[in-house]
Structure 1
């Protein structure tokens, strides 16, 4: 780092570099999805082929999608009976990944060999934490049938009621809006 910079300038430079690193990591994960719920050990020596065939079964595809790679998350193998590690799936083609994600997002249970599985986007931990911070807001809005809501972009939140759309950059701002304007007094 440049020695002639003030502490504030150094702090700003570090923050800028961190933002660039997160952006690059997001871009490198753009073609990835996470598949959660497949028991450990079923994949055998060829996890990429196994996951492609599993996607055919889960989504009733006509042929296996072309995957660049698929592997379990980099964590220690869990004990017997514990929750299995997720698969990180890198699709060769982005449009195929988006098609799978759309099918998974429609709702309804996804099944693989009588086990319920889930599909999620693959975000860096920093982004995943920011998105998870909206959980309380989503929990409060879930029972309101006349309100539409959802995550906007990587870390924003959108609430729509009676055609009026409200955008929030922080969970605290979204929560304050919900408590002040949408919850019964």
Structure 2
């Protein structure tokens, strides 16, 4: 019985991962603008985006994007938080260029001061990334560079070497090995990866 349940759980996890991947691929050209005031009306969004790119010193014409619409927000968020604005780039490399440039660009000012440019990702992928938040916070605090890999893993560059982290527990153990974390996970990452990544036996 236990083996049957484990098999079903593994199949469900696999299907959920495939669904998340399908969503992420279909949205791969999308960007979200978070923090755009609701006072900016739909007909004014195109001009607003142009001003945002200019204020952020991003030399990318707005003709490369379609301003789609505002995205419904979760019900638990207060009314004071504006809905995200969805953009769709005509080309994937343009979207990636905007994301890269926005991380190193001049801080926007005025009405754009609180606006963030984000990738448009599935809920499942966002949840997986949130699970890594203790690791990524420590990496940012110590100035260690990282980026996200597929499906949801951390690619960390330290002292010119690439380290691939597959689970949050593995990330915590790695930080501990580097002298950056004090609280290890309850079980070693190798055991965690074996449970999560291997198909159960029947």
Q: TM-score range by the shorter chain?
A: 0.7 to 0.9
Identify the structure with bigger relative contact order (alpha carbons < 8 Å, sequence gap 6+): 2
The runs of 4+ residues in structure 1 deviating greater than 4 Å are 6-13
Q: Is the 8 A contact 1:69 1:89 kept in 2?
A: yes
Which of 15, 18, 25 is residue 16 of structure 2 equivalent to?
18
Which of 156, 159, 164 is residue 156 of structure 2 equivalent to?
159
Greater displacement, 95-104 / 31-40: 95-104
Query: Structure 1 CA distance, aligned partners of 2:151 and 2:12?
Result: 21
Which of 31, 47, 58 is residue 53 of structure 1 equivalent to?
47
What CA RMSD, in Å, does the superposition of the two structures yield over aligned residues? 2.8
Question: Kindly tell me: are residues 107 and 138 of structure 1, through their superposed partners in 2, closer, same or farther at Cα, counting changes over 3 Å?
Answer: farther
Query: Structure 1 CA distance, aligned partners of 2:152 and 2:181?
Result: 27
SS at match of 1:143: helix
Q: Does 1:141 align with 2:139?
A: yes
Unpaired stretches in structure 2, ≥5 consecutive residues = 183-202
Query: Structure 2 CA distance, aligned partners of 1:184 and 1:102?
Result: 28
Q: Which has the higher helix share?
A: 2
SS at match of 1:27: helix
Question: Kindly tell me: are residues 54 and 8 of structure 1, through their superposed partners in 2, closer, same or farther at Cα, counting changes over 3 Å?
Answer: same
Q: Is the 8 A contact 1:59 1:103 kept in 2?
A: no
Query: Structure 2 CA distance, aligned partners of 1:93 and 1:164?
Result: 31
Q: For this pair of structures, how many residues does the alignment match?
A: 173
Q: Does 1:126 align with 2:128?
A: no
Question: Kindly tell me: are residues 59 and 21 of structure 1, through their superposed partners in 2, closer, same or farther at Cα, counting changes over 3 Å?
Answer: same
Q: Which has the higher strand share?
A: 1
Query: Structure 2 CA distance, aligned partners of 1:154 and 1:161?
Result: 21
Which of 174, 177, 184 is residue 174 of structure 2 equivalent to?
177
Unpaired stretches in structure 1, ≥5 consecutive residues = 1-5
Q: Does 1:34 align with 2:32?
A: yes
